[in-house]
Amino acid sequence: MFWVVFVVRVLVGLPFVVFGLNYFVPFLTMPSPEFPENAVKFLTAIGSTPYMDVVKVLEVVGGALVLSGRFVPLGLVLVTPVAVNIALFDLFLVGRPGLGVGLAVLCCVLLVAYRSHFAGIFAFKPQIGSSRLG
């Protein structure tokens, strides 16, 4: 099981780190894909704001955490919403599954592997505060 989780961590963390860093320091030549009109409008809208700067910082930091094996749950909290948004962009605006769908599925695999760290999120009747303090 260790090796499966390790491989999935690399498959999730590496693209986020590489493509996130490529945004700030271009070292890969990326072809310009042809997108449908709505996808172009969406990319134009978010491209004219610092939104993508923040997203790419989250990608690099979260991807590095997942890749390093340190603070993996925190890294998943940072990159999983990004992966889901990329998947939704691919499915609803581009109209076909792409890298985002695969990343979202792999993030879900890691969420299951690290489920004990997320147990409190799924509490049916959560308590406010800590019982140790009161």
The tens digit of pLDDT for each residue in 67-114 reads 999 999 999 999 999 999 999 999 999 999 999 999 999 999 999 999
CA separation (Å) from 104 to 13, 27, 125, 134? 12, 25, 28, 39
The amino acid that residue 17 corresponds to is V
Q: Which residues neighbour 108 within 8 Å (Cβ) at sequence distance 6 or greater?
A: 80
CA separation (Å) from 6 to 61, 75, 82, 106, 132? 18, 14, 21, 12, 35
0.85 cut: is pTM over it? yes
Pick from 28, 25, 30, 100: nearest CA to 60 = 25
The tens digit of pLDDT for each residue in 9-54 reads 999 999 999 999 999 999 999 888 889 999 999 999 998 899 999 9
Q: Would you list the domain boundaries of the chain?
A: 2-26+35-112
